[in-house]
Amino acid sequence: MRTFTKAFRYCQQWMTMPISDAATSTNATAPAKSHYVILDGLRGVASLVVIVFHLFEAYADNNPQKQIINHGYLAVDFFFLLSGFVIAYAYDDRWGRMGQWEFYKRRLVRLQPMVVLGSVIGAALFAFQHWTIFPKVAGSSAWQVLLVMLIGCTMIPLPKSADIRGWDESYPLNGPAWSLFYEYCANVLYAVGLRRLSSRGLGLLVALSAIALILLLVIGGRGDLIGGWSLDAAGLTMGFTRVMFPFFAGVLLMRLGKRIRLPGAFWLCSLMLIVALSLPRFGGTERLWINGLYEAGCVIVLFPLIVAIGAGEKRIDGPSVRVARFFGDLSYPLYITHYPLIYIYTGWVIDRNVPPAQGALAGLGVFIVAVAVAYASLKLFDEPVRRWLASRLLTKRT
């Protein structure tokens, strides 16, 4: 038993840093710390819902009122909350032994390899996306694609003038990378000073961020949290509003130590999350504020509740824990590599006017391929590259 325990701890030390965001794992946050396996698994569940959401978008006619899995985009806000929670767990008690540069290196080692691979996959599949719904693809040259790919690998967002697809994306080869940009921004804000806030000061920041979120959703007439991927005033406002509350609410939740212990936590939380992301849109086109209230309630109340329940489960073995661990490992690669396939599928469905039955069958195939690509990316690229980078760039003990 001692040998097994030592081997288990060694495996934890071998792995590198957690999280994302926008959709990354919480494992190996620190060599001496356990991690929240259930939260890992919930990130994976949310990533799977995101794929289904994006597949159904092809039949929504760019109309949120018609979208099935209607609130799937809120998975991003859930990722931000998980990120803040895990960052606080991993680093709050380490700043006396670790400087900012070490923190940044650890975040880059954890996040950047898959950012690079996502950009490369996006460039490799760009040639298969010559559909009319992408107005600029046909006119984009190979060197432009290569340049956008290289810039995407650095996480530098592109203005609309440099968009080679025509969808006003700051990362036109791999749209979901926009949330990683805000993940990095939140990490920097945490490191440069917000980590020093007392619980009361952090609570005030979180309260003000919640008010900003409500104003955007309800008072501002938006009615939803769709957006953040464009590098313009509206996109930046949406992006920073979306990240500030959940990320720092996650930090606060971790510091306050609020945990809820319930049996079957993983399955209960998964059900709550799936239902929240899948319910129909509320209020119609005439009363957008009703939908805004619903989404504000999800982000401000429901998601922290789900995290508190998930964090209350600390078992390291059992069927649900093994499922959660698998989903958690897969979550970040799945989130950051699936969208180039979605571009192809969406263009095909819309340009060819594909009937729903045929589209559903093809969509299932895309889903399976996306999971397979993510798993291969994890095992053949992400894990080995992170281990290699960690062995050369990171301080052994901090």
Query: What per-residue confidence (pLDDT) applies to 258?
Result: 85
Query: What per-residue confidence (pLDDT) applies to 2?
Result: 45
Both tokens assigned to 278: 């899948």
Query: What per-residue confidence (pLDDT) applies to 321?
Result: 87
Residues 70/353, Cβ–Cβ less than 8 Å:
no
Dist CA 176 CA 279 (whole Å): 22
Query: What per-residue confidence (pLDDT) applies to 398?
Result: 57
What is the crossing angle of helices 303-311 and 37-57, to 10°?
140
Residues 84/247, Cβ–Cβ less than 8 Å:
yes
Dist CA 70 CA 214 (whole Å): 19
Dist CA 290 CA 110 (whole Å): 38
- Fill in the DSSP letter of residue 254: H
Q: pLDDT by residue for the chain (398 residues), tens digit each?
A: 444 344 434 334 433 333 333 444 444 334 456 678 999 999 999 999 999 999 999 999 989 999 989 999 999 999 999 999 999 999 999 998 899 999 999 999 999 999 999 999 999 999 999 999 999 999 999 999 999 999 999 999 999 999 999 999 999 999 999 999 999 999 999 999 999 999 999 999 999 999 999 999 998 888 999 999 999 999 999 999 999 999 999 999 999 998 999 999 999 999 999 999 999 999 988 899 999 999 999 999 999 999 999 999 877 677 888 999 999 999 999 999 999 999 999 999 999 999 999 999 999 999 999 999 999 999 999 999 999 999 999 876 55
* pLDDT per residue as tens digits for the range 346-373: 999 999 999 999 999 999 999 999 999 9
Where do we find the tokens 């590098």? 231
Query: What per-residue confidence (pLDDT) applies to 5?
Result: 42
- Fill in the DSSP letter of residue 317: -
* pLDDT per residue as tens digits for the range 139-159: 999 999 999 999 999 999 999
Q: What φ, ψ does residue 222 adopt, rounded to 5°? A: -70, -55
Dist CA 251 CA 206 (whole Å): 10
